[in-house]
A = this chain, B = another copy of it.
Amino acid sequence: MKRIAVLTSGGDAPGMNAAVRAVVRKAIYEGMEVYGINRGYAGMVDGDIFKFETKDVTNIMSKGGTFLRSARFPEFAQLEGQLKGIEQLKKNGIEGVVVIGGDGSYHGAMRLTEHGFPAVGVPGTIDNDIVGTDFTIGFDTAVNTAVDAIDKICDTSYSHKRTFVVEVMGRNAGDIAVWSGLATGADQIIIPEEEFDINQVVQRNMDGYEKRGKSHAIIVLAEGVTTADKFVQMMKEAGDTSDLRATNLGHILRGGSPSPRDRVLASWMGAHAVALLKEGRGGLAVGIQNETLVEHPILGTAEENALFSIAEDGKIIVNNPHKAQLELAKLSRELRR
């Protein structure tokens, strides 16, 4: 291929800019032309497309968010939107596209693949819930931000002998909760992947103060379970009499300068996506597994290690859904006081 494009889509994640930089620089290094698409699939359909020069991505690696911007664009789930997007790409002479984003973004890449247009996915989301990779771009930074915030909450929690329920992002996956909970020595971690009994949560919490000499407590809660406010309410109703507080770290987890690790992963995967397109290979999703670059078909059978299959009724099947590392959740229980 001689000319490719890159877009970011879905919830923004720190490191997306590093991935864009890698795509641009690697493409130019390989003698290709590279275009940027603003606002994700919305910009693709609108033709909001521009040519990148090497200097355009100077100094963007350390910036949070995505300077290409992102946007929700449900219309791309429809055939009409897809065809219009491909038309725009072809009009600009673009032969392949790198899609940086999460689940929804990959669905778009799958549709491009269905229509025979070469797309390569790069996993960018703080939630770490993308199949085909051990780590997504943005996860490490989000965990850093969460731990920094929880360390701060520990200070005030200790000062006032309080129990804090801290809600972190993660609609389907408990990864941020597990990593940040383990890294802060949280007393309890509540994630969608594990069932919990509110009476046991309360029992353990009260025992901490009464029997194990604890001076305060932190409970890390993934948003996929419920909100911190509701969880505190549930604890009160189940008889918790400690000084309970709820806090939601919310959107600060999405921002901030990407961690070095996220910059490295983003650079590595972004450049690899270009290498694949250069060889004419599309319909693939890039990942890091076992600290090594891998690629999987976006669409295909489970035997082919494809990320998604499409059932007869047209429904999308995730072949090998992501799971948080429950081993680490178990470890946190063994190491807490």
Is B182 within 8 A of A267, CB to CB? yes
Q: Top 5 closest A-B pairs, CB basis?
A: A152-B255, A64-B155, A290-B290, A65-B155, A155-B255
In chain B, what residue has the closest Cβ to A69? B159
For residue A185, CB closer than 8 A to chain B, the reply is: yes
Interface 9-mer from A81-89, A139-147, A303-311: A139-147
Stretch at the interface among A55-63, A90-98, A312-320: A55-63
A65-B155, A256-B152 as given contacts; A160 in contact with B70, CB under 8 Å: yes
Q: List 16 A-B contacts (CB under 8 A).
A: A8-B159, A26-B335, A29-B335, A54-B337, A55-B213, A65-B159, A70-B159, A149-B252, A151-B256, A164-B251, A179-B260, A247-B250, A248-B248, A259-B259, A268-B328, A291-B291
Given B145, B152, B328, which contacts A264 in the complex, CB threshold below 8 Å?
Answer: B328
Partner of A159, one of B66, B182, B247, B268: B66
| Closest-CB distance, A67 to chain B (whole angstroms) | 8
Q: Is the CB of B260 within 8 A of A261?
A: no
Residues of A within 8 A of B (CB): 8, 11-12, 14, 21-22, 25-26, 29, 54-55, 58-59, 61-66, 69-71, 134, 140, 143-147, 149, 151-156, 158-161, 164, 179-180, 182-185, 213, 245, 247-252, 254-257, 259-261, 263-264, 267-268, 271, 290-292, 328, 331-332, 334-337
Interface of A is mostly: helix
Q: How far is the CB of A55 from chain B (nearest CB, A)?
A: 7
